[in-house]
C-alpha cells in the first residue's frame, strides 16, 4: 500500500481546487455523459472534433478530488491530439490505473498523468480516476454530430465496468 | 408536530464495561494500515460476536443437513435448531406466534415479499402507497415498481431540515385510497428515530396497514411489534450482529394468510399436480427452497447474545457516544452535520467544506477509521440536503470515546490534506 501522499499529491489537489477546462464548450460537436451510480459521480465531457483532431475539450460535473483532477488533466492531455493519439492515451491510462502497465518500465505517452499511478493501490477509487477517461472515450467513439448549428450534438453515455 | 416515543424504560449506562464487551468481537482486535482498527460502519453491517461465530461453526461441524424433509437424525437436529431460532426471533420482537416470523435474506427481501404477496394482490389502479422522504431505497424502489405496474400513486411524507418527518403532512396524505404505509423505524442516512407507533395508530384509524423497515431499528431499539401494532416489520440480521443472509419479515398472521406466496418452489407447497398446486401454511408458504440455515441459526445466537447484555446500558452507551461525537465534530471548523433530529440513534452523517465524502473515506481509512461514504442508498435524502453524498460514522455499543477521538483526529487530517 502506498502512502496517502502518493494518492493526494499536490498536483491532484491543485486540479481539484482549480479544475482546468471546467466549463461547457460552446460549439462542441461531441458530448458524452459519465455516471457512476455507486458514488453518484457525474460528469459531462464536451469535445470539438475536427478532421480527426480533438481541437477543444472541456468538462463539467461533480465528483471527488480524484475524479475531478483526473478529468481536468485528461482535458489538458487530450486537447490537440489526433483520434489515434487520444485512443492510445486512453488505453495507457486505463492499463496504468488497473496495474497492468508499469509506467516506469514500459514505453508510454503518459507524462504528467503518471501521478495517477498510485490509485491502483486503492481498488475502490480506480473508477474515480477512470470515469473521465471512459467518458472522453465515448465522445471520441461517438458519431459525428450534424453540422447544422440548431441540431444539438449527439450524447454518448460512458459505462464504467472494470 | 413531531411525536416522540420511549426507547427503553428507565436509564442505564453507568455499568457498561465496553472493554469487556469488545473482547466478544474478535474482528475488532486487528490493525489496518498500521493502526488499530476503528470500526464505525455499523449501520452498514455490524460485527459478529464469538458466540455467533461458534454457533455457526458448530452447526456446520455437527448438525448440517437440510431441514423439514429428512427423517434422519441430522435433519431433525438442523430443523430443531432452525425452528429454535425462529422461536428466539418471536420472543425478541414479541410476536404473538412464531409462524408470524418469516426468515428472509434481509429487509430488502422482506419488503419485496410484501410488495409481491400483498401489494400485487391488493393494490390496484388509483390506489396510493405512502412512504417517507428518508426511506432507504429498499423501502422505496419496490413500491415504485408496484405503482408503475398497477397505475397506483406513490405519496411521500416530507421531512424538515433537521430530518424529522412532518406528521401533519402525513395526516393530509392519508385517505380512503391509501393501501399501505411504508416507513423506516430509524433512518440509516440521518439517524432519525421515527415515531412509528404514532404513525401506525394514525394509519390504522383509516384501516391502512403499516410496514416498518426495522433494519436500523432492531440493532438499537427495543422492538415490540404488538406494542407498535404494526402489520409488517422487517429486520436484517447482519445489522444486528448476525451473519449476512439472515433476516426476518414479521407479519400479522391474518395478513400473511391472505397474501399470495412470494417465491414458488420446494417447501412452500402442500400438493402439486400439473393442473394446480396448493400452498403450505405460514411461515412455510413464504420460505421456498432451502433457506440460509446456518445464518438463521446465527441470528438466533445473536439474539441470545443481545439478551445476555444489559440493553438499557448498551443503549445509553451508544447515546453517550453519539452526544460526544456530535459535540466534538460540530466544533471542527468546516464540518456540517446532516441529520439533527431530536430523537436519534447513534448514526452521525456529515460533510466537510467542499471535500467529497469519498476523499474523506479514503483518508480516514488510511488512519484506520472505517466509515461509510456515499449516498447511503437514500438519494432523495441527499437531494433534500443539497449534497451529492455524505460521510457517515455509525456507532455500536462496542465503540469507545477513544475511537471517537481517533475519528476527530482523522477528520482534522482530511482538512490538513485539503487545506
Whether residues A63 and B366 touch (CB distance < 8 A) is answered with no
Q: What pLDDT, on a 0 to 100 scale, did the predictor assign at position A144?
A: 44
**Mean pLDDT (whole number) for B67-74:** 87
pLDDT band at B264 (very low <50, low <70, confident <90, very high): very high
**Mean pLDDT (whole number) for B29-35:** 93
> Has residue A152 got a pLDDT over 80?
no
Helices A83-97 and A65-78, interaxial angle, to 10°? 150
Q: What percent of chain B is predicted at pLDDT more than 90?
A: 94
Residue-wise pLDDT for B232-242, tens only, equals 999 999 999 99
Q: How many Cα atoms are found within 13 Å in the side-chain-facing hemisphere of B202?
A: 18
Q: Which residues of A touch B359 (CB under 8 A)?
A: 8, 64-66
Whether A96 contacts chain B with CB within 8 A = no
Pairwise CA distance, residues A133 & A126, whole Å: 11
Whether B383 contacts chain A with CB within 8 A = no
Whether B355 contacts chain A with CB within 8 A = yes
Residue-wise pLDDT for A48-101, tens only, equals 999 999 999 999 999 999 999 999 999 999 999 999 999 999 999 999 999 999
Q: What pLDDT, on a 0 to 100 scale, did the predictor assign at position A5?
A: 63
Whether residues A8 and B417 touch (CB distance < 8 A) is answered with yes
Whether residues A40 and B359 touch (CB distance < 8 A) is answered with no
Whether B362 contacts chain A with CB within 8 A = yes
Q: What is the CA radius of gyration of chain B?
A: 22
Whether A82 contacts chain B with CB within 8 A = no
Chain A residue with CA closest to B419: the answer is A13
Whether A43 contacts chain B with CB within 8 A = no
Tell me what the pLDDT averaged over chain B comes to.
95
Chain A residue with CA closest to B358: the answer is A64
Whether residues A8 and B363 touch (CB distance < 8 A) is answered with yes
Residue-wise pLDDT for B105-140, tens only, equals 999 999 999 999 999 999 999 999 999 999 999 999
Q: Which residues of A touch B358 (CB under 8 A)?
A: 39, 64, 66, 125, 128
Nearest beta carbon to residue B362 from set A13, A40, A122: A122
Place of cell 491543485: A14
Residue-wise pLDDT for B275-329, tens only, equals 999 999 999 999 999 999 999 999 999 999 999 999 999 999 999 999 999 999 9
Whether A27 contacts chain B with CB within 8 A = no
Tell me the residue ranges of DSSP E strands in A27-147: 30-36, 41-50, 53-62
Q: What is the 8-class DSSP label of residue A152?
A: P
Which residue would you say has higher pLDDT here, B351 or A157? B351
Pairwise CA distance, residues B298 & B207, whole Å: 37
> Has residue B82 got a pLDDT over 60?
yes
Helices (H), B36-195: 50-58, 73-93, 107-114, 120-122, 141-150, 167-173
Pairwise CA distance, residues B293 & A156, whole Å: 47
| Distance (Å) from the alpha carbon of B353 to chain A's nearest alpha carbon | 12
| Distance (Å) from the alpha carbon of B99 to chain A's nearest alpha carbon | 37
Helices (H), B214-344: 225-228, 253-258, 293-308, 311-330
Q: What pLDDT, on a 0 to 100 scale, did the predictor assign at position B8?
A: 52
Q: What pLDDT, on a 0 to 100 scale, did the predictor assign at position A68?
A: 95
Among A4, A62, A66, A126, the strongest candidate for a mutation testing the B interface, having the largest count of B CBs within 10 A, is A4
| Distance (Å) from the alpha carbon of B374 to chain A's nearest alpha carbon | 5
> Using a CB cutoff of 8 Å and minimum separation of 24, what contacts does A144-147 make?
A144/A29, A144/A30, A144/A49, A145/A29, A145/A30, A147/A29
> Has residue B6 got a pLDDT over 60?
no
**Cell of residue A37, nine digits:** 451510480
Residue-wise pLDDT for A120-146, tens only, equals 988 888 999 999 999 999 999 885 433
Q: Which residues pair with B336 in a beta bridge?
A: B351
| Distance (Å) from the alpha carbon of A143 to chain B's nearest alpha carbon | 31
Active site residue ranges of B? 377
Pairwise CA distance, residues A115 & B415, whole Å: 21
Amino acid at each position: 500500500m502506498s502512502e496517502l501522499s502518493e494518492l493526494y499529491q499536490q498536483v491532484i489537489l491543485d486540479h481539484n481546487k482549480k479544475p482546468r477546462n471546467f466549463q461547457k464548450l460552446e460549439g462542441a460537436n461531441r458530448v458524452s455523459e459519465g455516471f457512476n451510480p455507486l458514488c453518484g459521480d457525474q460528469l459531462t465531457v464536451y469535445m470539438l472534433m475536427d478532421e480527426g483532431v480533438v481541437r477543444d475539450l472541456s468538462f463539467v460535473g461533480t465528483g471527488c478530488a480524484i475524479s475531478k483532477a483526473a478529468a481536468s488533466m485528461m482535458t489538458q492531455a487530450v486537447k490537440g491530439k489526433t483520434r489515434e493519439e487520444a485512443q492510445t492515451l486512453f488505453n495507457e491510462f486505463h492499463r496504468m490505473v488497473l496495474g497492468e502497465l508499469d509506467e516506469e518500465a514500459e514505453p508510454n505517452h503518459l507524462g504528467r498523468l503518471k501521478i495517477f499511478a498510485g490509485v491502483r493501490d486503492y481498488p475502490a477509487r480506480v473508477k474515480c480516476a477512470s470515469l473521465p477517461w471512459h467518458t472522453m472515450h465515448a465522445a471520441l467513439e461517438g458519431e459525428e454530430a450534424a453540422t447544422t448549428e440548431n441540431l444539438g450534438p449527439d450524447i454518448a453515455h460512458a459505462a464504467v465496468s472494470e | 408536530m413531531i411525536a416522540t416515543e420511549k426507547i427503553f424504560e428507565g436509564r442505564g449506562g453507568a455499568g457498561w464495561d465496553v472493554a469487556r464487551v469488545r473482547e466478544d468481537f474478535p474482528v475488532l482486535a486487528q490493525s489496518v494500515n498500521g493502526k488499530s482498527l476503528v470500526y464505525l460502519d455499523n449501520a452498514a453491517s455490524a460485527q459478529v460476536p464469538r458466540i455467533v461465530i461458534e454457533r455457526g461453526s458448530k452447526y456446520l461441524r455437527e448438525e448440517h443437513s437440510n431441514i423439514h424433509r429428512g427423517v434422519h437424525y441430522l435433519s431433525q437436529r438442523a430443523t430443531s435448531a432452525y425452528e429454535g431460532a425462529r422461536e428466539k426471533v418471536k420472543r425478541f420482537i414479541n410476536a404473538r406466534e412464531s409462524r408470524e416470523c418469516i426468515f428472509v435474506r434481509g429487509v430488502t427481501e422482506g419488503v419485496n415479499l410484501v410488495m409481491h404477496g400483498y401489494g400485487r394482490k391488493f393494490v390496484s389502479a388509483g390506489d396510493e402507497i405512502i412512504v417517507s422522504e428518508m426511506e432507504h431505497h429498499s423501502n422505496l424502489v419496490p413500491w415504485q415498481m408496484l405503482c408503475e405496474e398497477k397505475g397506483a400513486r406513490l405519496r411521500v411524507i416530507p421531512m424538515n431540515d433537521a430530518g424529522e418527518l412532518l406528521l401533519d403532512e402525513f395526516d393530509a396524505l392519508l385517505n380512503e385510497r391509501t393501501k399501505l404505509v411504508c416507513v423506516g423505524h430509524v433512518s440509516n442516512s440521518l439517524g432519525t428515530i421515527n415515531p412509528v407507533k404514532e404513525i401506525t395508530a394514525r394509519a390504522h384509524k383509516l384501516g391502512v396497514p403499516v410496514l416498518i423497515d426495522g433494519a436500523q431499528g432492531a440493532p438499537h431499539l427495543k422492538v415490540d411489534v404488538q406494542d407498535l401494532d404494526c402489520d409488517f416489520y422487517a429486520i436484517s440480521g447482519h445489522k444486528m450482529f448476525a451473519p449476512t443472509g439472515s433476516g426476518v419479515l414479521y407479519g400479522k398472521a391474518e395478513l400473511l394468510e391472505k397474501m399470495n406466496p412470494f417465491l414458488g418452489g420446494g417447501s412452500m407447497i402442500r400438493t402439486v399436480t400439473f393442473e394446480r398446486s396448493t400452498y403450505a401454511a405460514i411461515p412455510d408458504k413464504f420460505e421456498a427452497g432451502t433457506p440460509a440455515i446456518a445464518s438463521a441459526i446465527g441470528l438466533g445466537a445473536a439474539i441470545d447474545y443481545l439478551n445476555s447484555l444489559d440493553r438499557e446500558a448498551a443503549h445509553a452507551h451508544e447515546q453517550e457516544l453519539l452526544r460526544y461525537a456530535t459535540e466534538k465534530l460540530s466544533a471542527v471548523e468546516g464540518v456540517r452535520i446532516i441529520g439533527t433530529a431530536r430523537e436519534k440513534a447513534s448514526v452521525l452523517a456529515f460533510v466537510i467544506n467542499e471535500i467529497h465524502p469519498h476523499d474523506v473515506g479514503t483518508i480516514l481509512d488510511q488512519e484506520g477509521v472505517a466509515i461509510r461514504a456515499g449516498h447511503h442508498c437514500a438519494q432523495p435524502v441527499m437531494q433534500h440536503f443539497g449534497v451529492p453524498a455524505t460521510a457517515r460514522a455509525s456507532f455500536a455499543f462496542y465503540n469507545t470515546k477513544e475511537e471517537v477521538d481517533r475519528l476527530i483526529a482523522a477528520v482534522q487530517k482530511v482538512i490538513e490534506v485539503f487545506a
